[in-house]
Structure 1
Amino acid sequence: MKKRTPIAVILAACLLLTAGCGPAKQEAPADKGGAAASQASKPAVSAADLKTATDFETGIRTWGLDPDTDLKGLARKDAKDAIAALRMQRIGANPAAGLMSFTPDAKTGPEAPNPSCPFYEEIREQTGSDINGWQVYCKSGLKAGDWLMGQEWGMGAKWASGPTAVPSGDKVRVTGTVRAILVQGNTRGRDDRVASWGWYAVTPAVKEWKVDDLLSIRDGKVSGIEHRTDDPWWTDPWLTEWTKDIASGFDGATRTAIPVKGMPSFDGQGYPDVDALYEPESEGEDGTDWSMWSDLPGQGPTEEDNKQLMDICIAKYGDQCPLLSPGQQP
C-alpha cells in the first residue's frame, strides 16, 4: 500500500517555494530603448546644425563693396560720383562671431597688425634706422582694416551661389562660390589710364572662388573649420591672415571699363604698399569689357582736358614742352 503525502504538507511546500502555487508574478519588461537608444537615434548633424553652418558661412564671407554693383549704371557719370559709389567702408567686427566657439588667431582679421609692417620691421632690424615706412606701418600701430582703406579704393565679397550645407559624417560640409571685387586708384606710378576726349576709364576687377569647407559644430556653435580649397583672405577676411599680394590674386579676373567724365581723383590713396592692378593701356586690351565706350558724346577735348594735358607736358618737359607756343613760358 502506497504511502500518501498529506495534502497539507504539499500546500506548505508550495507556500515555501513559490509563495503560492498559482502563476508566478511577472516583472515589467526592461525598457529596451531607454536613454541610450534615444541618444543613438539622434542624427549626428541636425537641421539646426545645417542652419548654423549656412548662417556662419554667409557671415564670414559677406563684406565690403558689393561685387554685384551695377557697373553699367555708373557709366557717363561725373568721375567723383562714379568712384564714390565704388568706395568701400572700413571693415568692422565679424558678424558671425556669435556663431563661433573658437577664437581666431591674433594675426587674422581687420584688427590684427597690418601686413606691411613685417617688411619694414626687418629693414629696421638690419639697418638700425627708423625709416619712414617703419614709422607709417609699424610705429603707428596701424590696424589691418585701416591699412586697407589707404591701399585699395574698393574691395568686397559675397556668395554668388550657395552656401549649401550637407551632413558629412559628424561634420557639416559647406560648398558654393564666392565672388569678390577689387577697385584700385590710379596712383601706381604709370600714367596708362585710357582717356578719350574727357572720358576716363575706371576698371574694376571681379573674380570668383570655389568654397569647400568642413565645419565642426558643437552645442549649436562652430567649433572648427577646415578649408578644402584655396581660401584667399579677401573671401574670408575675419578668419584669415591678410597679405599684400591682392592684385596678383585677381589674375584672370573679369575687367569692366567704365567711362566717367573727367579724371578720377582717388583721395587718400597716396602711394600704396601693395601690388598693382594696372588700368588697361588701350581700348583694345584683351580681358576687358569696352562695350560702354561706343557712341560717347563729345567731339573733342574740353578746356579742362587741354589744361590737364598742358600741365602734364610742362611737368615732364619744362620749357621744352611741344604744346607751348613760341615764346610762351611754362
Structure 2
Amino acid sequence: MSHNKKTITIITAVVLVLALVIGWCAWRKHVTSTKETQASANTSSSSSTNKAKKKTPVLSDKQKEQNKTIALQMEKDMRNWGVDSLADPHQWAKQPADQVLAALRTPDNIETPADMPTSMKINQGWGSNAPSYVCNTFDYQSLCDTMPTSQAWWKNEVWGTGTRWVKDPTAKVYDDGKVRVKGKVRTILVTSGDTYSEGDYNALTPAWRDYQIDDLLTIENGKVSDIEYEGDQYWWINPFLSQWTPDKVADSLGYGTRIAIPVSGGLNWNGMNPTGITRVLNAPESKGDLDGKVDWSMWDDVSFSSNTGCQNCPAS
C-alpha cells in the first residue's frame, strides 16, 4: 500500500512538472507572437507613414507663385467694397455738403465679383443680394417689400460703408497648397444724425477703424476651396461671404477714429428712412463732446467773419 502511494505521488509530480512546462511554453509562444505582431504593426504603420510622407506633394516655385496670386486676388475681391475708406477726408473740408455726402454714399448695385477665384459653396444668406435682415426677422416682415435685399436695407439704415486694404497684404505659401495672408483693412462708416454747426458750416463726423486680417486659404485646382479665419470676422470686412446684420457695426467703428469735416450747407440725408433697428454713431453736440474722441483740427482755419448769423464767433 505504501509502495502504491509512493508511485502515485511520483506520477502526480511528473504530471505537474509536465503541465508547468507545457504552460510555460504556451505562454512564451503567446508573448513572442504578440511582440512579433506589434513589431509587424509598428513596421506597417511606419511604412504607411513614410509612404504618406512621400506622397505629400511639394509644390514647384511656379505653382507656389500661382497659389500666392490666387490667394491675394481672393482677399482683395472679398474685402474691397463700398465707399473708399482710404480717401483723404481733408479734400472735403469746406466743400458743398451735397458733394461730400455723394462721395461718401454707399454705391448702388454692390455685386460679388464675378471672377472671384473660389470654389466654395456660397450660402444664399450671404452678400448684398441676399434676403435682407427685415425679411428674415418676423417682427419686421412688413418692411420686407420695400427693402428685400441686404444692400437695399443697409442703404436705408446708414449713409455710407466701405472697406479697403490699407496696403497690399502679405502672403506665405506652404508646400501643401495653403496660403497664409496677413494685413490690415480699413472700414469707414457714415451715419445720419450730425447736428453741430458753426455759421454756414456743418460738421460731418464719419468713423474709420482698422482691422487685422490673418487668413489661411486652401488652394485646389486653381481655386480657393476653404478659408480659416483668425480673429473676429465682421460682415463689413467680409461682405460677400457673410450675412449682413445690424449688430455691433456702430459699436465697433465707434472705437475707431472720428474726424469732424466742415462742409458748406445743410446735410440732406435724401434716400434714407432708418428703421431704428440699427445703432448709429453718436453725434457730437460740441467740440468737447464724446470725451474728445473727435478730431476737430480741420476747423482751426475756418473763418466765420462773413456770417452775420453766428453768435460769439471768433474774429478772422
- Normalised TM-score (structure 1): 0.70
Instruction: Determine the C-alpha separation between the residues in 2 that align with 1:267 and 1:228.
Output: 39
Match status 1:289 vs 2:295: yes
Q: Which residue number corresponds to residue 191 of structure 2?
A: 184
Deviation at 1:242, TM superposition (A): 1.1
- How many corresponding residue pairs? 253
Deviation at 1:117, TM superposition (A): 3.1
Q: Which residue number corresponds to residue 199 of structure 1?
A: 201
- More displaced 10-residue stretch of structure 1: 159-168 or 257-266: 159-168
Alpha-carbon deviations, 1:120-179, whole Å to 9, x = none?
Answer: x1x3xxxxxxxxx42223x45610011122112111101113321112452111111011
Alpha-carbon deviations, 1:255-302, whole Å to 9, x = none?
Answer: 110011222111011224311112212112311110111232223755
Query: Can you give the 5+ residue segments of structure 1 that lack an aligned partner in the other structure?
Result: 1-36, 124-132, 187-191, 307-330
* SS of residue matched to 2:239: coil
Alignment of 1:89-104 (within 5 A): 89-95=107-113, 97-104=115-122
Q: Which residue number corresponds to residue 325 of structure 1?
A: none
Hey, which of these two has a bigger chunk of helix by percent? 2
Alignment of 1:157-236 (within 5 A): 157-168=163-174, 170=176, 171-186=178-193, 193-236=195-238
Q: 1:259 aligns with which of 230, 239, 262?
A: 262
Instruction: Determine the C-alpha separation between the residues in 2 that align with 1:96 and 1:227.
Output: 23
- Normalised TM-score (structure 2): 0.73
Given that residues 161 and 189 in structure 2 are in contact (C-alpha distance below 8 angstroms), is that contact kept between their aligned partners in structure 1?
A: yes
Instruction: Determine the C-alpha separation between the residues in 1 that align with 2:141 and 2:130.
Output: 17
Instruction: Determine the C-alpha separation between the residues in 1 that align with 2:223 and 2:85.
Output: 29
Query: Can you give the 5+ residue segments of structure 2 that lack an aligned partner in the other structure?
Result: 1-53, 312-316
Q: Which residue number corresponds to residue 129 of structure 1?
A: none
Q: 1:80 aligns with which of 98, 104, 108?
A: 98
Given that residues 67 and 156 in structure 1 are in contact (C-alpha distance below 8 angstroms), is that contact kept between their aligned partners in structure 2?
A: yes
Q: Which residue number corresponds to residue 13 of structure 1?
A: none
Match status 1:111 vs 2:129: yes
Instruction: Determine the C-alpha separation between the residues in 1 that align with 2:92 and 2:244.
Output: 30
Deviation at 1:97, TM superposition (A): 4.4
Instruction: Determine the C-alpha separation between the residues in 1 that align with 2:304 and 2:117.
Output: 55
Alignment of 1:112-151 (within 5 A): 112-119=130-137, 121=138, 123=139, 133-137=140-144, 139-140=145-146, 142-151=148-157
Deviation at 1:96, TM superposition (A): 6.0
Alignment of 1:22-37 (within 5 A): none
Instruction: Determine the C-alpha separation between the residues in 1 that align with 2:83 and 2:238.
Output: 14
Give the percent of matched residue pairs that are identical in Structure 1 and Structure 2.
33
Q: 2:252 aligns with which of 239, 249, 260?
A: 249
Give the letter for the 2:160 counterpart: G
